[in-house]
Amino acid sequence: MSLYAKDTDQAFQGAGTKPGLETWCVENLQLVAVPKTSYGKFYSGNSYLILHTIIPKSGPPLHDIHYWLGNDTNKVDSDLASDKALELDAALGSCSVQYRELQGQETEKFLSYFKPCIIPIEGVYSSQKGHSNEDTYEVRLLTCKGDHVVHVKEVPFSRSSLNHNDVFVLDTASKIFLFSGCNSSTQERAKALEVVQYIKDTKHSGNCEVATIEDGKFVGDSEVGEFWSFFGGYAPIPRESPSFFQDQSDIQSVKLFWITYQGKLSQIESDSFAREVLEADKCYMLDCEAEIFVWMGRLTSVTERKTSISAAEDFLRNQGRSAGTHLSLITEGLETSKFRSYFANWPLKVEPRLFEEGREKVAAIFKQNGYEVKELPEEDIEPLIDCRGTLKVWRVDGDELSLVPISEQRKLFSGDCYVVQYTYSGNGREENLFYAWLGCESTLEDRRDVIYHMNSVVDSTRGDPVMAQVVQNKEPDQFFFIFQMLIIYKGGKSAGYRKFLAEKGIDDKTNNESEDAFFRIQGTSPDNMQAIQVDQVSSSLNSSYCYILNSGTTVFTWIGNLSLTRDHDILHRMLEFINPTWQPISVREGSEPDIFWTALGGKTEYAKGKEMKGHVEDPRLLLLNITEGDFKAKEIFNFTQDDLTTEDVLALDCHNELYIWIGCHSKVKSKQQALMLGQKFLETDVLAEGLSVDTPFYVVTEGKEPTFFTRFFEWDFSKQNMHGNSFERKLAKLKGKPQSVEAPLRTSWKSYSRESTPNGLRSRSVSSNGQGRSPSPAPNGSSSNWKSPVSRPQSTSTPTARELFSESPRSGSSPGSPTEDTRSSIENSYSQANETEAENNINLIIYPYERLKVVSSDPVPGIDVTKREAYLSDEEFVAKFGMTKGNFYKLPKWKQNKLKMSLNLF
């Protein structure tokens, strides 16, 4: 946080230094801090200022500033709120995005802070002690809109207010009625139930009846009759009755204006806009009809910014724009993904950062070589699933899957594609995780075939296992952990690869383990180490790695100056694994003999440090909307497990890996369709963050979420296993009915037939050969080849090489199905439901860290292994975690788990 100027409002003292919300109200032309107990209560006669702060593990704090204007607020207060938002931004170092929020037209980001909803209060806020701000109780009719955040509006208490498109809440003294228009969606009805619960708790102290009324149902139901009696009796609703919510047109014209120093708008004529148009010493307005952005260059003054904001607000008034037109204020360098999407080829800020150990001597080496140290020490990576499971690997060879012998299954070839099945114990049951691994030199045909083969194997597996596609050089850590020790050779063995070489006239250089070879050694521990064959040239070297060079007559091990002690240990282990008979000559960087450089074709320049991806940002959840020939994604802000709605398909974008979550009641009914959604998401790059189409990604189905997915949520297993659609589930909870612990039912994944598959490609199916289904499906272990009973598809003129996924998980094990392990599910649910109390009030015997960590020579028996950190003394907890226990338990669950993993306490 920047230093405050002397003339900065005292109300902002200390603002933005802690994560979460801070709220001020304009009262008597001054900002007054609103107590936390009143957060979410907004008076229609006031203007408010809201600051939301996120403090990431690394990098500067992230701020969003919203100024909320009530319908009855006066212009002086609203102008003051706008000016104070700009003042707060300047105090924070001009590093926030600002939003204007109008009552009843709030942005979804703003509403996400106040779940389940905000219901503005008539009147004016007063900070006077003892002053009652609450209005008297009265019957109200509210309408609700939204499937993940809900807009609530009070409408006239009249029959004419009802319509077929919206959901309404009638709040009376003794009962709350929910009226669902026949054209409203299940998700909207479910969200409206959350509003009913909120009103019941806040207005009725939890004591009142709830009734649900369906549009058109008026015979033989006493509650329906009671509802209509408030409107003078039943009468049909007109067919064309209007909705209180305006639908935004998908078709938008976009205009860009330069805002002069005098506040005049000068349109920039162009069919498309480039980033270069925006100059750092000017302000601009981007008019997207439903939303207007004011972009403020980093060299502009506060006065210029105020003038630009006033010009945009005057533009809205003069144009007679809808009150629902949102206004966002963006400082250069903090552009949102939506803003960037309106510009062609917005440049990505990718700065290669060098890896370093973090110690002074390594930093000195970087400095000596002219490199700036920018990265923190690399975190130790721990697996998130049980890595003591069983592994099966098949190589794709046209219509056949060749089962790789156990002795060879940790040796892959970059010219081939493989199906990998990993079976492990998770939550008291057997889980299966499938990967389609695409070698970087593999053919388009093999890449397409491996997906169909994986689908066929999955078809013969019980349940809905997690599936993933990874491309060589983009593998997630979890993939390497399940192999533990892996060699990736150049070349390939499939007929398709050999045919490709013959057609192109390329020599086959497939490694036969006796020829010259050059390996880069990488990994983080003896349980995660790889030898990757690279081009036998000196430019393949990197100071951060160790290498093995077999020149035919001599074997060398090369140790980079920036490699770590653990790298040296991994080097010796991999040397033993590749060929235990080799007797290498060890050389350190800078002392290589001439014969070493000769074997590499001469000495040339090479990298002095490996590039890092930088700190990982918090994941984002997006709702995917799939219609014929169209694909849209909408971000869900401040998401929770409740946003995983069973009717939806969602993408959890973790930046270096992606998860596609499929609800049991969604329209996606086949594996092929689910996988294609992942690829489409990467190709579309909705957030304009430069996602690679080779990013690994997983398909996860509702009720079968693995732990490497659930770690991003405050996960409640009882919610995971509820039955019915989203409305039925929330209604059962609202009425206090026992919730089913039976996993949601899903129609088995279907493969595409020739008629339904794009380009006429037919999915391959597994031939059972009369054999029963086994826990580890697919080919019988006695047979090395699995031939598909379906004829090989013909190649198309434009085959798609990257057929499905692109984002991989970070690790995980999936929770057990309650139908098979009900007791475990209930215990987990009970444990998580009482977690906060247990963490804050736990009175445990204190044990030292060395006895509490997962791998300990003297482990403590009988402790709760899910809360190892709770047994640490307060002093040792702060020393290890860098924070108090209270602050630790305020973090999201997935962040807690990540910290615990880094300390070997998870």
Could you tell me where in the chain the CATH 1.10.950.10 domains are found? 847-901
Averaged pLDDT, 194-218:
89
% of the chain beyond a pLDDT of 70 = 79
Extract the tokens encoding 109. 């980001």
Question: Rounded to an integer, what distance in angstroms lies between the CA atom of residue 313 and that of residue 319?
Answer: 10
Phi then psi for residue 303, to 5 deg, are -60, -45
Question: Rounded to an integer, what distance in angstroms lies between the CA atom of residue 158 and that of residue 520?
Answer: 75
CB atoms within 10 A of CB 728: 16
Query: Is the domain 847-901 a CATH 3.20.20.70 member?
Result: no
pLDDT of 461 > 90? The answer is: no
Residue 547: strand pairing partners = 520, 558
Question: Rounded to an integer, what distance in angstroms lies between the CA atom of residue 100 and that of residue 97?
Answer: 10
667: three-class secondary structure by DSSP: coil
Architecture of domain 253-342: 3-Layer(aba) Sandwich (3.40)
Confidence of residue 631 (pLDDT cuts 50, 70, 90): confident
pLDDT of 842 > 70? The answer is: no
pLDDT mean across residues, the chain = 81
Q: Which amino acid, residue 742?
A: E
Question: Rounded to an integer, what distance in angstroms lies between the CA atom of residue 778 and that of residue 763?
Answer: 15
Q: Strands 62-69 and 96-102, how do they pair? A: parallel
CA dist 242 → 246, 252, 464 (Å):
9, 23, 43
Question: Rounded to an integer, what distance in angstroms lies between the CA atom of residue 63 and that of residue 331?
Answer: 12
Averaged pLDDT, 98-120:
93
Decide if 848 contacts 876 (C-beta within 8 A): yes
Averaged pLDDT, 14-18:
90
Which residue stretches of 604-706 are H helix?
671-684
Residue partners of 624: CB distance under 8 A and separation at least 6: 631, 632, 633, 648, 649, 650, 651, 660, 677, 681
pLDDT of 403 > 50? The answer is: yes
Question: Rounded to an integer, what distance in angstroms lies between the CA atom of residue 308 and that of residue 153?
Answer: 31
Averaged pLDDT, 149-167:
92
Architecture of domain 137-229: 3-Layer(aba) Sandwich (3.40)
Question: Rounded to an integer, what distance in angstroms lies between the CA atom of residue 187 and that of residue 839?
Answer: 34
pLDDT of residue 252: 65
CA dist 579 → 76, 513, 554, 557 (Å):
80, 8, 13, 13
Averaged pLDDT, 384-408:
91
Extract the tokens encoding 691. 């996602």
Residue 152: strand pairing partners = 144
Q: Which of 447, 369, 280 is nearest to 799 (CA)?
A: 447
Residue partners of 240: CB distance under 8 A and separation at least 6: none
Extract the tokens encoding 156. 């006239």
Question: Rounded to an integer, what distance in angstroms lies between the CA atom of residue 85 and that of residue 69?
Answer: 12
Residue keyed to tokens 């960087």: 589
Cis bond before residue 116 (omega within 30° of 0): yes
pLDDT of residue 609: 73
Element (DSSP H or E) covering residue 251: none
Question: Rounded to an integer, what distance in angstroms lies between the CA atom of residue 571 and that of residue 618?
Answer: 34
CA atoms within 13 A on the CB side of 174: 4
Q: Which of 42-51, 54-63, 756-765, 883-892 has the lowest mean pLDDT?
A: 756-765
CA angle 377, 379, 383 (to 5 degrees): 165
pLDDT of residue 370: 47
pLDDT of residue 107: 93
503: three-class secondary structure by DSSP: helix
Confidence of residue 216 (pLDDT cuts 50, 70, 90): confident
Per residue in 420-438, pLDDT tens? 999 998 777 788 999 999 9
Output helix, strand, coil percentages for the chain, rounded to the nearest 5.
25, 25, 50
What letter would DSSP give residue 345? T
Q: Which of 148-152, 547-551, 810-814 has the lowest mean pLDDT?
A: 810-814
**For the structural domain made of 515-608, what CATH number should be given?**
3.40.20.10
CA dist 830 → 36, 716, 827 (Å):
29, 9, 5
pLDDT of 886 > 60? The answer is: yes
Could you tell me where in the chain the CATH 3.40.20.10 domains are found? 137-229, 253-342, 390-509, 515-608, 618-714+722-731
Decide if 88 contacts 12 (C-beta within 8 A): yes
Q: Which of 157-166, 467-476, 783-792 has the lowest mean pLDDT?
A: 783-792
Q: Which residue has the higher pLDDT, 330 or 360?
A: 330
The CATH number for 618-714+722-731, chosen from 3.40.20.10, 3.30.470.20, 3.40.225.10, 3.40.50.300, is 3.40.20.10
Handedness of CA 710, 711, 716, 718 (dihedral sign): positive
CA angle 136, 141, 146 (to 5 degrees): 120
Q: Which of 8-12, 654-658, 833-837 has the lowest mean pLDDT?
A: 833-837
Element (DSSP H or E) covering residue 255: strand 255-259
**Domain 390-509 classification at class level:** alpha beta
pLDDT of residue 388: 87
Which residue stretches of 712-812 are H helix?
717-720, 726-734
698: three-class secondary structure by DSSP: strand
Question: Rounded to an integer, what distance in angstroms lies between the CA atom of residue 216 and that of residue 544?
Answer: 70
Confidence of residue 5 (pLDDT cuts 50, 70, 90): low
pLDDT of 47 > 70? The answer is: yes
pLDDT of 688 > 50? The answer is: yes
pLDDT of 385 > 80? The answer is: yes
Question: Rounded to an integer, what distance in angstroms lies between the CA atom of residue 495 and that of residue 446?
Answer: 9
Question: Rounded to an integer, what distance in angstroms lies between the CA atom of residue 124 and that of residue 134?
Answer: 10
pLDDT of 614 > 60? The answer is: no
What letter would DSSP give residue 887? H
What letter would DSSP give residue 114? T
pLDDT of residue 764: 36
Question: Rounded to an integer, what distance in angstroms lies between the CA atom of residue 683 and that of residue 152?
Answer: 36
Residue partners of 797: CB distance under 8 A and separation at least 6: none
pLDDT of 746 > 60? The answer is: no
Per residue in 69-94, pLDDT tens? 999 999 999 999 999 999 999 899 88
